[in-house]
Amino acid sequence: MAAFVVSLLSFLALWLPGLIEGDGAVGCAGYAPLPAGLAKLWAVLEEGWLELRRQYLSTYWQYLVLNGVPMVSVLLSGLVAAWSRRWLGTVVGLLAALSVAAVALHWAFTAFSYLLLLNCGGWEGGLPWLAWQSLLVAGFGGAVVLLVGGVRARAAALARTERRL
């Protein structure tokens, strides 16, 4: 239940930018310099992640669906865990955690890219936008932790119950 509430609040936070002045755009010719090894790794990771996201974020509705997936998967995980065998609840819980983690990773990449742009183009007016993206990372990341903790606690409780019998 806690993971669902955190996912729901994170989803609702998508509308927070309406309260922030400006559009969050940062003009910059490139990113702030990173160490050579990290710059190469970041370029490969960002290009791969951008290509993967392009397939799913081409329209506004797909964007909402992608960010709504955590709530649906967490709710499904809770329902299956309540009325199923241990192995099915564990599998569905872990799949839910993976889907929420994918959305958290999306926001982590977005926030890190924005941070690099701010370092290059200036921080004026950009801090609220970075805070918003970081809030989404923390929210969906927290939901992953709660899901995994719930799966482990449920598995441990069922194991104790089986040992008593």
% of the chain residues with pLDDT over 70: 84
Q: Where are the beta strands (DSSP E) in the chain?
A: none
| Mean local confidence (pLDDT), 5-20 | 82
**In which band, very low, low, confident or very high, does the pLDDT at 32 lie, cut at 50, 70 and 90?**
low
The dihedrals phi and psi of 145, each to the nearest 5 degrees, come to -60, -45
% of the chain residues with pLDDT over 90: 6
The C-alpha atoms of residue 64 and residue 109 are separated, in whole angstroms, by 18
State the pTM of this model. 0.77
C-alpha gyration radius of the chain: 19
CB atoms within 10 A of CB 20: 14
| Mean local confidence (pLDDT), 41-50 | 78
DSSP state of 32: P
Q: How many CA atoms lie within 13 A of 66 on its CB side?
A: 20
pLDDT tens readout for residues 56-111: 666 767 777 777 888 888 888 888 877 766 678 788 888 888 988 988 988 898 88
> In degrees, to the nearest 5, what angle opens at C-alpha 104 toward C-alphas 142 and 66?
120
Res. 52: pLDDT tops 80 = no
Q: Return the pLDDT at 54.
A: 73
Give residues with Cβ within 8 angstroms of 103, minimum separation 6.
66, 67, 69, 70, 140
